[in-house]
Amino acid sequence: MSPTRATKAQMAIDPLPERDRKSEHIELALDERMQLACYHFDSFRFEHEACPEMDFDEIDSSAVFLGKRLQAPLLISCMTGGTEEATKINRNLARAAEKSGVAVGIGSQRRAIEDASTADTYRIRPFAPSVPILANLGAVQLNYGFGLDECLRAVEMIDADALVFHLNPLQEAIQPEGQRNFAGLIEKMGRIARDLPVPVIVKEVGCGISARLARALARHGLRIIDSSGQGGTSWARIESARCEDPGIGELFADWGIPTPLAIRNLRKVPGLTVIGSGGIRHGVDVAKAIALGADLAGLAYPFLRAATISAEAVEEKIRRTLRELEICMFCAGAHTISDLQAVRLIREAEVAA
């Protein structure tokens, strides 16, 4: 039995009264009970290099993403927007991303497309003028009236460097107001990618992407994929709390492809830029994600909690994550991120043997 199901009795969550969906999402996402206790990266460890033959101060953890050089291979993953609290969170994330030289995304802009009065809650370019910024829409919206015009508006609204299409069938299936027609979306996303003036990124929201889907996306010109695997925030738990059915949330809490496996799935497909995300907690997980095949790593929950405090709190979390990453690189003998991608990870089963 999985650890999430084994603790089902303790995980029953009191549903919230009907309120604004975005506000509920923020409040619930900050609840530690919505995080899975499935630390998949702990099944891997680095082969220690006792004499790395390098100077720690010469480690280069920089990376290039969307044509811009980052100080570290980090993405503050897409999270929120549309509310007063989200405005504060997004601006704190953006200020910290700019100061730290990392990429940053925003939450789904559907609300701003439908209600222009909320657009300012997403506009973070003034606070992050030089780093990559990711716009964000649910791919399913392409079956509910959205097309190229809405995608252009999302990009132009925040002067984005790319547009993320997020895939969330499990969330939509449980969500009280869910939109569940996912038919024909791969082809539609491909058409948008051909016509949009910025790259398109495809990501899950916590259940992972299979190698089969990655190949299908690549055939349609969608070549930047975010694993967003199982192991972090459980949107099944969040939406089941909102619809007053915590039992369904526990049944599906651990649904999906664990993030390390999802990253390896994507790396099997030639020509992809791979973002590894889903349950990444610190710099050691970042290093493992890159060694498994990711080009950069995305974190959400660790930065969300910090962003409710201040931009400085987010900066400190980024600094800490980078220090942890660089210690891993040093002790694995990796001068650069490219070197780290070539480092061998050992499975715990191999250690036991």
72 token code pair: 């570290």
Q: How far apart are CA 162 and CA 106, in angstroms?
A: 11
CA–CA separation, 307 vs 94, rounded Å? 10
pLDDT digits (tens, 9 = 90+) for 222-252: 999 999 999 999 989 999 999 889 899 999 9
Domain extent for 312: 21-352
- Asked if residue 14 is part of any domain, the answer here is no
Q: In this model, does residue 166 exceed pLDDT 80?
A: yes
Closest CA to 194 of 219, 214, 159, 157: 219
| Domains contained in the chain, number | 1
- pTM check: above 0.95: no
Query: Is 30 a member of any domain?
Result: yes
> H or E stretch including 225?
strand 224-226
Domain assignment present for residue 1? The answer is no
In-domain check, residue 165: yes
Is residue 296 within 8 A of residue 70, CB to CB? The reply is yes
Length of the chain: 353
φ/ψ of 226, rounded to 5, equals: -105, 120
Report the SS3 class of residue 336: strand
Other beta carbons less than 10 A from residue 229's beta carbon:
28
Rounded Cα distance, 114 and 82, in Å: 11
Residue 10 domain-assigned (yes or no): no
Is residue 4 included in any domain, yes or no?
no
The dihedral built from the CA positions of residue 215, 220, 225 and 229, taken in this order, carries a sign that is negative
Beta bridge partners of 167: 204
Q: What is the pLDDT of residue 349?
A: 63
Q: What is the pLDDT of residues 256-276, one digit of tens each?
A: 999 999 999 999 999 999 999
d(Cα 30, Cα 122) in Å, to the nearest integer?
20
The number of C-alpha atoms within 13 Å of 78 and in the hemisphere containing its C-beta is: 27
Residue 10's pLDDT is 35
pLDDT digits (tens, 9 = 90+) for 191-221: 999 999 999 999 999 999 999 999 999 999 9
Which CATH number does the domain housing residue 262 bear? 3.20.20.70
Q: How far apart are CA 205 and CA 278, in angstroms?
A: 8
Quick check: 182 and 143 in contact, CB under 8 A? yes
Contact in structure between 345 and 292 (CB atoms under 8 Å)? yes
Specify if 39 maps to a domain.
Answer: yes
Residue 8 lies in a domain: no
The span from the CA of 295 to the CA of 11, in Å, is 35
Q: What is the pLDDT of residues 306-319, one digit of tens each?
A: 999 999 999 999 99
Structural tokens at position 188: 């539609």
CB 67 within 8 A of CB 315: no
Question: What was the pLDDT predicted at 187?
Answer: 98
- Amino acid at residue number 40: H
CA torsion through residues 74, 79, 80, 85, sign: negative
Lowest mean pLDDT among 26-30, 41-45, 344-348: 26-30
Distance of CA 198 to the CA centre of its chain: 19
- Residue 352's pLDDT is what? 46
What is the Cα–Cα distance from 198 to 161, expressed in whole angstroms? 6
Q: Tell me which DSSP letter residue 60 carries.
A: B
Give tens-digit pLDDT for 55-66. Answer: 999 999 999 999
